[in-house]
Copies of this chain bind each other. A is one copy, B any other.
Amino acid sequence: MAEKTRRPRAETPKGFRDYFGAEVTERKAMLDAIAGVYHRYGFDPLETSAVETVEALGKFLPDVDRPNEGVFAWQEEDQDWLALRYDLTAPLARVAAQYRNDLPSPYRRYAMGPVWRNEKPGPGRFRQFYQCDADTVGSGSVAADAEICAMLADCLEEVGIPRGDYVVKVNNRKVLNGVMEVAGLAGDDKEAERGIVLRAIDKIDRLGEEGVRALLGEGRKDESGDFTKGAGLSDAQAEVVMRFVSASNQIEKRLVEISELPGAMDTKIGVHAYLASFQGSPSGRRVLGGDGPITRYWNRVTTQYLREIVGTSMTGLEGVDELESIADLLEAQGYGPDRIVIDPGVVRGLGYYTGPVYEAELTFQITDEKGRPRNFGSVAGGGRYDGLVKRFTGQDVPATGVSIGVDRLLAALRAKGRSTGDAAGPVVVTVMDRDRMADYMAMVGELRQAGIRAEVYLGNPKNFGNQLKYADKRQSPIAVIQGGNEAAAGKVILKDLILGAKIAESATLEEWKDRPAQVEVPRVEFVAAVRKMLGQ
């Protein structure tokens, strides 16, 4: 006989969660909408397995015991280490290498599905979440980057973010590398300094220009008195970096100047008005609604400024040229700075980017859990990574791609009230007489045949109140009722539960008096009557 053991806990593992009903269908609808755009752009779906060899994933080196730094990994009996994918890019690199003789080149592919991270879970941060990627492998042309930026803008509009409520920002790693060169921070021996500089740049929103400046020099003491050691740059070096850090402000200043030149602006709306309209919304500054002449200057002024700060660095100039090409290619397709802008402020975290990087930001404000307004921020990002496939083949394979954070995007739509989270419940056929289950099954069968979502109540039918409570929990629009009397008379009662709920909420019945919450209809016509009540 089996030993008596304690009952297992019915719990989702720590950091994971379950999704119910509308949460599932809304995400599916979003993924379908995005897949539709990806498809139109010629991208083909790819579905790799959730499991990869740790060797192929690569990012994480096996330590003595187990290589699970950030991933869920385990050792097979045959000694191979396997792991759950932590993104969709690593599997793509593996596929691009494995099938390189069979795939079209360039290979445009999209992929959507869960990825797993073995990280400490936090509020709203889960260890399994969806990614939704599109990448072009095998093209070094900036046209591939431009295409993905345009596609990203289309995707956002397709899922319900109107133009003006988002901006796709483009930058180029080479520009930053060029700035580093000019500042005398190139070379393997300067890696430590570059690290400090990069981290300092990334803190501009929090520390402001003065704080960043301090971190570029000797260091900075924060309010608590703690001291952070700086990069130790000379004033001249720091000045070079600061011209990059303050790029957005400098570019705005120049635009204002241009707008004030006589004849420069042939419209009533000037740059001042634009900038003023976005005050207090730092990310919104870069959203230029409509086709004002400012959109003609914006990217030009930006690339001109960047060209100055990268000086004679070949890498830097190449980066600026690429940005200029991207802007031109996008403009040719009608994507101006009202949708996609060059923004030197975009410094994406991942180390593997080698050229253009891009990021989609939602520019509207939402209210956070503490009731404070805040910018919604980034919902997608990507860039060019020319080294990933080379790991496998030794050959250079240029690639560029984007990843859309569908869960964040869904949260944004909900925050804006553009997604209700409600699902249409089924019509519920109640059971008045348990011996006539066959009759109720016949009714529900007819409704389903007619394409109407419907159920028969399958719980214990004894307590009719429970059946109505069930219908309520199911957000059912209509309850179908047939007792013995109705059956004998060839009738069916339809109870309008939506109307019933409204009547219950409302102080006066007056406004509903013309519309009865309950009707009796002939059994033979009840499907048509249900359809009518549903407004179909």
CB within 8 Å of B: which residues of A? 7-14, 16-21, 23-25, 28, 39-42, 44-53, 55-56, 58, 68, 72-74, 80, 82, 84, 94-95, 97-99, 104-106, 108, 114, 116, 127-128, 136, 138-139, 141, 143-144, 146-147, 150, 154, 328-329, 331-334, 391-394, 423, 426, 428, 437-439, 441-442, 444-445, 448, 451-456, 458-459, 470, 473-474
CB proximity of A160 to chain B, nearest CB, Å: 18
Q: A95-B18, A334-B445, A441-B333 are in contact. Are A128 and B8 (CB under 8 A)?
A: no
Q: Is the CB of A51 within 8 A of B333?
A: no
Number of copies of this kind of chain in the complex: 2
Q: Is the CB of A455 within 8 A of B42?
A: yes
Residues in B whose Cβ lies below 8 Å from that of A23: 47
Q: Is the CB of B458 within 8 A of A106?
A: yes
CB proximity of A127 to chain B, nearest CB, Å: 8
Q: Is the CB of B94 within 8 A of A10?
A: yes
A48 to B13, CA, bound (A): 11
A97 to B52, CA, bound (A): 32
- The one of B14, B58, B329, B437 that contacts A437, using a Cβ cutoff of 8 Å: B329
A329 to B435, CA, bound (A): 11
- The one of B51, B146, B428, B437 that contacts A72, using a Cβ cutoff of 8 Å: B51
- The one of B44, B52, B391 that contacts A20, using a Cβ cutoff of 8 Å: B44
A377 to B105, CA, bound (A): 40
Residues in B whose Cβ lies below 8 Å from that of A39: 453
Residues in B whose Cβ lies below 8 Å from that of A13: 49, 51-53, 56, 80, 82
Q: Is the CB of B438 within 8 A of A147?
A: no
A46 to B144, CA, bound (A): 38
Residues in B whose Cβ lies below 8 Å from that of A50: 50, 84, 114, 116, 128
A391 to B20, CA, bound (A): 23
Q: A10-B94, A10-B98, A437-B143 are in contact. Are A49 and B128 (CB under 8 A)?
A: yes
A452 to B42, CA, bound (A): 10
A-B contact pairs, 22 of them (CB 8 A): A8-B55, A10-B95, A10-B392, A11-B56, A16-B51, A17-B49, A18-B46, A18-B48, A18-B99, A21-B46, A40-B453, A51-B72, A51-B128, A68-B74, A72-B82, A106-B459, A138-B459, A329-B437, A329-B438, A332-B441, A332-B442, A332-B445
Q: A73-B74, A147-B456 are in contact. Are A19 and B47 (CB under 8 A)?
A: yes
Q: A97-B10, A445-B333 are in contact. Are A45 and B21 (CB under 8 A)?
A: yes
CB proximity of A40 to chain B, nearest CB, Å: 5
A521 to B99, CA, bound (A): 38
A417 to B456, CA, bound (A): 37
Q: A150-B445, A437-B141, A438-B332 are in contact. Are A11 and B53 (CB under 8 A)?
A: yes
Residues in B whose Cβ lies below 8 Å from that of A458: 106, 136, 138-139, 141, 143-144, 147
A437 to B322, CA, bound (A): 13
Residues in B whose Cβ lies below 8 Å from that of A94: 10-12
CB proximity of A330 to chain B, nearest CB, Å: 8
Chain B CB count within 10 A is highest, among A12, A391, A393, for A12
Known interface pairs A12-B48, A13-B56, A40-B448; 9 further A-B residue pairs with C-beta atoms within 8 A, sorted by A's residue number: A8-B53, A9-B392, A25-B45, A42-B428, A72-B82, A104-B473, A141-B437, A141-B458, A332-B438
A423 to B108, CA, bound (A): 14
Q: Is the CB of A105 within 8 A of B459?
A: yes
Q: Is the CB of A46 within 8 A of B24?
A: yes
Q: Is the CB of A20 within 8 A of B8?
A: no
A8 to B12, CA, bound (A): 35
Q: Is the CB of B12 within 8 A of A49?
A: yes
A391 to B6, CA, bound (A): 9
A439 to B17, CA, bound (A): 48
Residue in chain B with minimal CB distance to A400? B458
CB proximity of A3 to chain B, nearest CB, Å: 11
Q: Is the CB of B423 within 8 A of A11?
A: no
Q: Is the CB of B40 within 8 A of A116?
A: no
CB proximity of A66 to chain B, nearest CB, Å: 8
Q: A8-B391, A51-B72, A439-B332 are in contact. Are A454 and B46 (CB under 8 A)?
A: no
Q: Is the CB of A11 within 8 A of B98?
A: yes
Q: A42-B455, A73-B74, A454-B40 are in contact. Are A9 and B441 (CB under 8 A)?
A: no
